[in-house]
Structure 1
Amino acid sequence: RIALTIASVVALTSLSGVIFAGYHVARRLGNDLESTKLQLALIERQVGTSQQQTSDSLKSLQTKNKDLAEELEKSQNEIDRLALPQNLLNQIMSRIVWVHCEDSNGRYERSGSGTIGLTKNSAKGLTITTNFHVTGSPTSFCIVKFPEAPSYAKLGIPRLALIGKYDPNYPEVDIALLHLFDAKEKFDAFPIPYCQSSEIKIGDRITLLGYPSFGGNTLTITDGIISGTIQTKWGPRYKTSAKIDLGNSGGLAIDNNNRCVIGIPTWTKFGGELGEALGTGESLGQIQSWEIIKTSGQIF
């Protein structure tokens, strides 16, 4: 009986130990489960926050994209509004001639551009306005070619032009007149007026017409903006973002905003005066304003 009692006590003690251990295991597992639930809840909140942030970022990007698209459309509409109409371009392109001048000794040879009708034509023919540095000297002779309609991509037969007036204030005022006698072509008054300097603003869109070498010496239209002003004793020269090289010299610059003639594109290099090819570096395109030419008073 004593042995049975002892065995019962041992059994109960062992059972109590098992129950106690099981209780602790269950409690630990319960704590782990609660911790896992809390972690899951935290992760769900983080995921929800991240999704919201992603959604907000996406909405922000969509709004910015819409704003950019609207801004691009406005800019394109403004460019289209300022573009010169094709019929006006055709009238002007027909007047832009290719000019090639040489001196009688063959020591000078240069090509450029010229414009018919910027000044009154002579009684015997047409007057072409160009840069004096294109002609080289008062004793040079020049050949001009007209662009052929309707594409103006080809040049016509060469025609002899004689040098008339040039401005003695060269190189500050770089202009000369060529005369093409017995010309069959007839032109009405120039289709747009001259600009007043007060009308021309930095940022105005411009169009240049001429025969640059980068255009294969064919009539080429380039555009850009007025990017700066250089004041001279005669009036303003204008810096431009439009590409200009030696062949552009003597051509035409138009202010698209005001539909008027700014003046004559004139090529130089850093370190040189207008019309000179001195120094090194890239070409510096400037537009000699019509005001400079008129203020000098030697041509008109």
Structure 2
Amino acid sequence: MKNLKGFIQIPFLIAIIAGVLVLSGGGYLGYSKFKIYKSEQIKKEHQSSELQKALEKTQKEIETLKIKESTRTKSESVKIKNIPDIIKEWRKRVVLIVCEKIQGGSGTLMKFSDSDVINVITNKHVIKIDDRLPNYCEVRFPLEEIGTGYVLSVQGSNMTISGAYDLATLPFQYPNEYTKKTTPTQDSICKEKPAIGDSIVILGYPAIGSFEDITATEGIISGYDDEYYVTSAKVESGNSGGAAILVKNNCYLGIPTLSIRGKLESLARILDARVALGLITNIPLSRKSGIITVFNDSANDQSIVTSTRFIGPNDLIYRTQKTLIIPSYGSKEVEILSEDAGYEYELNCSMVKPCIFTIPGFKGTSKYDQIYGKAFSPIK
């Protein structure tokens, strides 16, 4: 067949059309894929932007909470460690005790149950008169700003004393509204043992000072002694039985006490309220020991056997730790150990004021005055 000049051959035309269709189809598919890809990219960028915004919002909220928490903590810290505020709060809870108008000291109000009975916690040496319970004690509250104080009376028959600790409680069977409103519960007692160096404040009515309002002395926890805390805060006769407050937690730590009444001590003691009130019972106690010199003013040598009983000026029993023979008109030293454990066995003996010990087994004989002991250093 001859080629017609000016016309494209049919097979060639078909090939051109097919090529155009292929190219256009491929272009369409490529464009569609690109469009989908672009859409997904935009979607991812949008999601990423939203996520970033959410993260930034969360971060801002966290920072805001941190600032609020820091402000609250600082505020609470300032409030807890503000000693004037602590004194103001506990002042209403510390009372003056006067027994038979003869002697007295301080005490702290405390409530232990849902009943209306309120107790005054104090030292037993504050209320005992000549080794007996008083007929009555007056409990006097601090004067209010309006000038009106409160006085409540407690009969001796209602008082209780501890056999193990220098502790006594005076119950109010029918407290007035002021007392009900003022008295803390046992939740105010410190739950944990303080650390050495922790700050405390002691409130009470010392013999030296005004009976119209409390005095406050500050100090730190200097050490531990069985059921007692040793403190640098001064505790004087009259201040005994008051309140020792742990500053950092604003809680009732215990009862300030003195082993020698009427004397100032460089390191006083605080009876742990948790132990004294039976809230914990696992505090190990230790017996007290020291050295005494046994004198023999008789014409005969005297044998002192191991575990011989000596009675100290506190009317408590101590026992010798070995056997010895005291020559006539001579003397010998021997170690003694308290009959039981407890802080009440400690004695502040010295060369200036030695402690005198007698042998109860010799009572009623001439040896009672002739054979005796003296301690020239502390029993502790």
User: Is TM > 0.5 for Structure 1 vs Structure 2?
Assistant: yes
Change (3 A) 1:256 1:148: same
- Among 181, 200, 203, the alignment partner of 1:187 is 181
Structure 2 counterpart of 1:250: 241
Q: Is the 8 A contact 2:105 2:240 kept in 1?
A: yes
What amino acid maps onto 2:142 in structure 1?
A: P
**Deviation readout 1:39-81 (Å, 9 max, x if unpaired):** xxxxxxxxxxxxxxxxxxxxxxxxxxxxxxxxxxxxxxx9997
What amino acid maps onto 1:84 in structure 2?
A: I
Q: Is the 8 A contact 1:111 1:247 kept in 2?
A: yes
Structure 1 counterpart of 2:125: 133
1:245 partner SS:
coil
Indicate yes or no: 2:221 matched with 1:226: yes
Structure 2 counterpart of 1:89: 87
Structure 2 gaps, min length 5: 1-76, 282-380
- Among 258, 263, 270, the alignment partner of 1:287 is 270
2: CA distance, partners of 1:206 / 1:291: 16
Change (3 A) 1:138 1:93: same
Q: After TM superposition, give the deviation of residue 221 of structure 1 in Å.
A: 1.3
What amino acid maps onto 1:98 in structure 2?
A: L
2: CA distance, partners of 1:213 / 1:147: 15
2: CA distance, partners of 1:294 / 1:204: 22
Change (3 A) 1:146 1:258: same
What amino acid maps onto 2:230 in structure 1?
A: K
Q: Which has more helix, going by share of residues?
A: 1
Structure 2 counterpart of 1:160: 153
Provide the identity percentage: 30
Structure 2 counterpart of 1:238: 229
**Deviation readout 1:74-104 (Å, 9 max, x if unpaired):** xxxx999723362x533321121110113xx
Which sits farther off after the overlay, 215-224 or 241-250?
215-224
1:242 partner SS:
coil
Change (3 A) 1:181 1:118: closer
Alignment of 1:109-148 (within 5 A): 109-120=102-113, 123=116, 126-136=118-128, 137-148=132-143
Structure 1 counterpart of 2:202: 208
Change (3 A) 1:265 1:180: farther
Q: After TM superposition, give the deviation of residue 127 of structure 1 in Å.
A: 2.3
Q: Is the 8 A contact 1:173 1:292 kept in 2?
A: no
**Deviation readout 1:239-272 (Å, 9 max, x if unpaired):** 1111111111111111112222111111222xxx
2: CA distance, partners of 1:242 / 1:81: 19
Q: After TM superposition, give the deviation of residue 139 of structure 1 in Å.
A: 4.3
- Among 175, 191, 194, the alignment partner of 1:196 is 191
Change (3 A) 1:239 1:158: same
Q: Is the 8 A contact 2:232 2:267 kept in 1?
A: no
Supply the RMSD in Å over aligned alpha carbons.
3.3
Number of equivalences: 198
Structure 1 gaps, min length 5: 1-77, 270-276
2: CA distance, partners of 1:94 / 1:187: 10
Alignment of 1:42-53 (within 5 A): none
1:295 partner SS:
coil
Change (3 A) 1:111 1:79: farther
Q: Is the 8 A contact 1:246 1:268 kept in 2?
A: no
2: CA distance, partners of 1:132 / 1:122: 24
2: CA distance, partners of 1:165 / 1:216: 26
What amino acid maps onto 1:112 in structure 2?
A: G
- Among 77, 97, 100, the alignment partner of 1:99 is 97
2:188 partner SS:
coil
2: CA distance, partners of 1:85 / 1:166: 33
1:134 partner SS:
helix
Structure 2 counterpart of 1:49: none
